[in-house]
């Protein structure tokens, strides 16, 4: 399997809370709680390691509450290359209500010393030889600039290592300027980049194709129940997700990205990779945590995932909705 590095600049301890419905200003009883070492890159690493890849995790990690992260990395067989920084890694609360609504309460993250950012660049350069892909995902700590994220993309691309980017806002704009190999925005993140609403599949497709034309070879657009668009060098596919009961959408996008990267690095046909990744993301929303391809009905979920060519639809005048 492939050697992959994930970079998480702003990891978190995710406190996942299941509750029937939230009554603001009152005492609420939870159905369950759990806390996990998380952050988007770490979630991606969980999936990729479970699929058999050799995964190294890096980024910026607070020393004061690193114990659960270190234990998790050991349990999952991940290589720990995080740069330690003073203070605590942030804690995020994820409140999942019956019916699938999720409320995120995300902390800002610690202040990062300048020397730690220099050390992270040096660490990245030392890890690049032999890598088949780098994933840079998640938000930025308060004093880390979007330009710094872009510089990390540049460093990897200068060594001709494929870089997949999953972030938002100014960080996404800056990162795209460094021309990553692939990017995975959701529909809101893509609309923020485009500067106007993307309320239809056609609008999302055109925005994805625009990114292709600007040098980003692979664009994966996730739109929840409305499916997934994969535009690659001007040729686009769409996956219609299987219908499942939603418990939590936290980690679904990370699962999708990991599943896509698994298919690409395994040399699968595009239809096979998109079907696998979309089904795996659908599996993930049925419970708290990332997707599990070993679940008993995963093959059925893949069969229920419909793939079609948007490029063919456009050529024949078909409507994308």
Give me the active site residues, please.
254
Q: Judge contact between 111 and 141, C-beta under 8 A.
A: yes
- E strands present in the chain: 3-8, 12-19, 32-38, 54-62, 79-80, 83-85, 90-97, 102-105, 133-137, 163-166, 182-183, 218-222, 228-232, 235-240, 306-309
In the numeric block, which tokens belong to residue 249?
């959408």
Instruction: Give the separation between CA 165 and CA 162, rounded to whole angstroms.
Output: 10
Residue 267 parent element (H or E)? none
Q: In degrees rounded to 5, what are phi and psi of residue 118?
A: -60, -40
Instruction: Find how far residue 146's CA is from the centre of its chain.
Output: 17
Contacts (Cβ under 8 Å, ≥6 apart) of 75: none
**Spatial separation of the C-alpha atoms in residues 230 and 248, rounded to whole Å:** 23
Q: Contact at 8 Å (CB) between 107 and 91?
A: yes
CB atoms within 10 A of CB 221: 26
């Amino acid at each position: 399997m492939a050697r992959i590095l994930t970079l998480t600049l702003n990891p978190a301890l995710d406190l996942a809370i299941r509750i029937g419905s939230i009554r603001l200003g009152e005492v609420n009883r939870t159905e369950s709680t759990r806390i996990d070492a998380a952050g988007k890159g770490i979630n991606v690493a969980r999936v990729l390691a479970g699929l058999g890849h050799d995964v190294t995790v890096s980024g910026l990690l607070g020393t004061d509450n690193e114990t659960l992260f270190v234990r998790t990395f050991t349990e999952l067989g991940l290589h720990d290359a995080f740069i330690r920084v003073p203070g605590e890694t942030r804690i995020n609360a994820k409140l999942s209500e019956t019916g699938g609504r999720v409320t995120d309460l995300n902390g800002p993250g610690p202040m990062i010393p300048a020397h730690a950012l220099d050390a992270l660049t040096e660490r990245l350069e030392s890890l690049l030889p032999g890598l088949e892909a780098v994933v840079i995902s998640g938000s930025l700590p308060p004093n880390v600039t979007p330009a710094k994220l872009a510089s990390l993309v540049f460093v990897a691309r200068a060594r001709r290592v494929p870089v997949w980017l999953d972030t938002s806002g100014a960080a996404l704009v800056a990162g795209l300027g460094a021309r990553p190999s692939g990017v995975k925005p959701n529909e809101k993140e893509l609309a923020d980049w485009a500067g106007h609403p993307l309320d239809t599949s056609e609008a999302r497709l055109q925005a994805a194709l625009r990114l292709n034309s600007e040098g980003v070879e692979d664009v994966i657009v996730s739109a929840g129940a409305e499916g997934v668009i994969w535009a690659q060098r001007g040729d686009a596919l769409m996956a219609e997700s299987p219908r499942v009961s939603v418990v939590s959408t936290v980690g679904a996008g990370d699962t999708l990205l990991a599943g896509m990267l698994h298919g690409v690095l395994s040399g699968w046909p595009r239809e096979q990779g998109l079907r696998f990744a979309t089904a795996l993301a659908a599996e993930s929303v049925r419970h708290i945590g990332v997707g599990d391809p070993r679940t008993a009905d995963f093959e059925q979920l893949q069969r229920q995932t419909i793939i079609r060519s948007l490029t063919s639809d456009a050529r024949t005048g078909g409507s994308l909705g």
